[in-house]
Amino acid sequence: MIFKGVRDGRPYPDHGLTLRDWSRIPPRQIRLNEIVTTTKVLELDRLLSEDSTFYGDLFPHAVLWHGVLYLEDGVHHAVRSALRNRTVLHARVYDLDAEQGLDAEQATEQ
């Protein structure tokens, strides 16, 4: 399996981050098999497009919530990485657990 899971929609509350807010989060490596996507739909034309990030962020966006890493934006990047036999992806990760004051143990219990 490429991803930890695939779901349709975000299970976490709205974080209210703007593109400017996301751009302030430094990218880091995440393992593909540790992320849950928030979309079941993959548009083949976007997957194959060389300039798919022309108007967007170069890095996918992920949200850590209740100890689970959800890929909010950038599933096409993740699939491209998997097709190239890569196991990691560079993404911006927003830690919603930390924002809500939860430590790792509390987050996984909820």
Convert the pLDDT of each residue in 15-56 to its tens digit.
999 989 999 999 999 999 999 999 888 777 666 666 555 455
pTM of the complete model: 0.82
Mean pLDDT of the chain: 85
Q: Which of the four pLDDT bands, split at 50, 70 and 90, describes residue 58?
A: confident
End-to-end CA distance of the chain: 25
DSSP state of 28: E
Q: 60, exposed or middle or buried, with CB in 10 Å at 0-12, 13-18, 19+?
A: buried
Using only C-alpha atoms, the chain has a radius of gyration, in whole angstroms, of 14
Pick from 78, 67, 74, 64: nearest CA to 33: 78
Domains present along the chain, CATH in parentheses? 5-10+21-107 (3.90.1530.10)
